[in-house]
Amino acid sequence: MIRTRGLTKSFRDVRALSGVELCVGAGEVFGYLGPNGAGKTTTLRLLMGMVRPSSGTATVLGMDAWRDAVAVHRRVGYLAGDAVLYDRLTGRQHIRYFLRLRGSSDMRHALELADRLVLDTTRPVRTLSRGNRQKLALVLALMTAPDLLILDEPTTGLDPLVQQTFSAILREHTATGGSVLLSSHVLGEVQRVADRIGVVRAGRLIAVEQLDVLRGRALHHVTARFDSPVGSMAFRRLPGLRDVRLADGVLHCDAPRSALDALLKEVARHDVRDFQCAEAELEETFLAYYGVGENDAP
């Protein structure tokens, strides 16, 4: 559905994107993560043919994103991170207008989506809250049942219940063979729907992971309290453990799932008074492997 090779974009002396190699297959949701200013929106605009790459290529649905932009637009539902709507038009008027641009007048699917997202389409946009404006922008992107959805920060302003409905809509889309490229700066939002995630930092794609693989590497916060003195070297030698600290008979460490068996066996060699093990949030696990600082963290 999407393939980029060496995709690079510079704005005068600023390198916004550098050598991005990205592939999104049919029927998958790909979460594109990174901090603000990392290059996510630039990537999406390149894929939509809104800006021309400085070097490299981007193909969408087998077509060149720049040369064949008009044909790409016919088959892609796009949500901009700064979607602009007409203040004086109602939601229903927006739907009718954009459907006509695509040569259609059938509003049934759009109104069904609006109903599921709890959007009143009879009100002018100027009277809508930020969240309801976002709902309308989502309806406009989804209503033609496109082959591919390219969505920039789609859950901004949505309440948790609407986010659940939106996730269900995306899964229905991929169940029929459609694909989704979804950008966000929050892993917690993406992990509910994504099959794979990629992280972009300072214009470079630094990691791509299957969500299932990342969950398999999930860190566990472990605390063990011993009744007798225990040396730390045996624990420090165990592969995979992170941040091993042992003081006053209390062991603290972080362990991926693959290290838990060996850790438990070592702990069991001593007199244990108390033992606690809690799985970390997925975002914490991700940052433990790929985050190198507060300013770089997705």
**pLDDT, tens digit, 9 for 90 and up, residues 183-198:** 988 777 788 889 999 9
Query: For residue 298, what are the contacts with CB-CB under 8 A and spacing of at least 6?
Result: 33, 34, 35, 38, 185, 186, 187, 199, 201, 286, 287, 290, 291
Q: Please tell me the CATH code under which domain 2-214 is placed.
A: 3.40.50.300
Please name the amino acid found at residue 203: G
Q: For the chain, what are the domain ranges?
A: 2-214, 219-279
Q: What is the pLDDT of residue 290?
A: 67
Could you read off the pLDDT of 154-211 as tens digits, one per residue?
A: 998 999 999 999 999 999 999 999 999 999 887 777 888 899 999 888 899 988 988 8
Q: CA–CA separation, 228 vs 272, rounded Å?
A: 8
Q: Are strands 219-226 and 250-256 parallel, antiparallel or unpaired?
A: antiparallel
Low-confidence stretches of the chain (pLDDT beneath 70) = 282-283, 289-298
Task: Give the architecture (CATH level 2) of 219-279.
Answer: 2-Layer Sandwich (3.30)
Provide the Cα torsion 43, 49, 55, 59; round to 10°: 80
Q: What is the pLDDT of residue 216?
A: 72
- How large is the C-alpha radius of gyration of the chain? 23
